[in-house]
């Protein structure tokens, strides 16, 4: 699942809550504590790893990041007033940088108001040789097999493996003895990040 898909799923949960509570965007921002409480207590119903379990703090924080980014966009497009941002962030002020008037100041977001303390990540358990061989046995094409091998032996995440380009592979020894080299690339404006 890509980043855009994850953000859309997060926002779907938020909009479902807004519809259930019959609140508009501005009121929902002021009642975000209630949304966080729902996320902590509701069991995940969407198919996936966490189905039937409550969301962890890290997952809830990810949902809240999506919601805050949506609100920033809504304010930028005039769909919500700037006071909505103050419901989501602790605000700071700086004096007018031109020094024209001491009464004029610019407000800016210091930090989010709703952040849960994330639990410490558990120990990473690598896929066993038997599990890896079983996965290789059920793949139906060479592309999928290559992706599995790259993820296991090069330590790539799914999104990194899918986004590899030919120039990332070096066999001539020009890159610290050759091998795989994943370059950081600039994304086109508005392009989704890889998962």
Q: Please say which residue of 81, 112, 143 terminates a domain.
A: 112
Q: What is the mean pLDDT of residues 156-173?
A: 74
Nearest Cα neighbor of 63 from 12, 122, 24, 124 is 12
> What's the domain count of the chain?
2
pLDDT for 64-102, tens place per residue? 999 999 998 888 888 888 788 888 888 777 665 555 555
Rounded-to-integer distance, Cα 77 and Cα 184, Å? 31
Residues 70 and 146 in one domain: no
Nearest Cα neighbor of 118 from 46, 156, 65 is 65
Q: Judge contact between 94 and 104, C-beta under 8 A.
A: no
Residues 137 and 54 in one domain: no
Residues 81 and 38 in one domain: yes
Residues 11 and 67 in one domain: yes
Q: Given this model, what pLDDT does residue 11 score?
A: 92
| Domain, as residue range, for 50 | 3-112
pLDDT for 91-147, tens place per residue? 777 665 555 555 555 666 678 888 888 766 666 677 888 988 999 999 989 888 888
Residue 167 lies in a domain: yes
Q: Is the pLDDT of residue 33 over 80?
A: yes
Residues 36 and 75 in one domain: yes
Q: Please say which residue of 55, 83, 112 terminates a domain.
A: 112
Mean pLDDT of the chain: 77
Residues 141 and 76 in one domain: no
Residue 121 lies in a domain: no
pLDDT cut 70: percent of the chain above it: 72
Residues 108 and 37 in one domain: yes
Q: Given this model, what pLDDT does residue 102 score?
A: 54
- Residue 103 token pair: 């009464």
With residues binned 3-state (H G I as helix, E B as strand, rest as coil), the percentages for the chain, rounded to 5, are 45, 10, 40
Instruction: Tell me the whole-structure pTM to 2 decimals.
Output: 0.55
Residue 122 lies in a domain: no
Nearest Cα neighbor of 55 from 20, 9, 88, 21 is 9
Residues 88 and 142 in one domain: no
Residue 57 lies in a domain: yes
Residue 117 lies in a domain: no
pLDDT cut 90: percent of the chain above it: 13
Rounded-to-integer distance, Cα 186 and Cα 179, Å? 22
pLDDT band at 161 (very low <50, low <70, confident <90, very high): confident
pLDDT band at 178 (very low <50, low <70, confident <90, very high): very low
Q: Is the pLDDT of residue 189 over 60?
A: no
Among 34-43, 129-138, 171-180, name the one with the lowest average pLDDT.
171-180
Instruction: Give per-residue burial for 28-58: e unless 16+ CB within 10 Å, then b.
Output: bbeebeebbebbeeeebeeeeeeeeeebeee
């Amino acid at each position: 699942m890509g980043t855009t898909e994850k953000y859309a799923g997060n926002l779907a949960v938020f909009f479902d809550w807004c519809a259930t509570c019959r609140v508009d965007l501005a009121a929902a921002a002021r009642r975000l504590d209630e949304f966080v409480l729902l996320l902590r207590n509701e069991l995940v119903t969407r198919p996936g790893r966490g189905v039937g379990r409550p969301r962890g703090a890290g997952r809830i924080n990810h949902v809240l990041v999506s919601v805050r980014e949506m609100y920033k966009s809504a304010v930028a497009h005039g769909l919500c007033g700037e006071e909505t941002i103050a419901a989501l962030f602790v605000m700071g002020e700086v004096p007018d940088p031109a020094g024209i008037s001491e009464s004029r100041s610019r407000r800016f977001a210091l930090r989010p108001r709703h952040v849960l303390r994330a639990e410490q990540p558990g120990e990473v358990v690598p896929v066993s040789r038997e599990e890896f061989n079983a996965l290789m046995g059920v793949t139906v094409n060479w592309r999928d097999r290559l992706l599995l091998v790259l993820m296991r032996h090069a330590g790539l995440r799914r999104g990194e493996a899918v986004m590899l380009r030919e120039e990332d592979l070096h066999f001539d020894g020009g890159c610290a003895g050759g091998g795989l080299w994943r370059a950081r690339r600039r994304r086109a404006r508005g392009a989704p990040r890889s998962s």
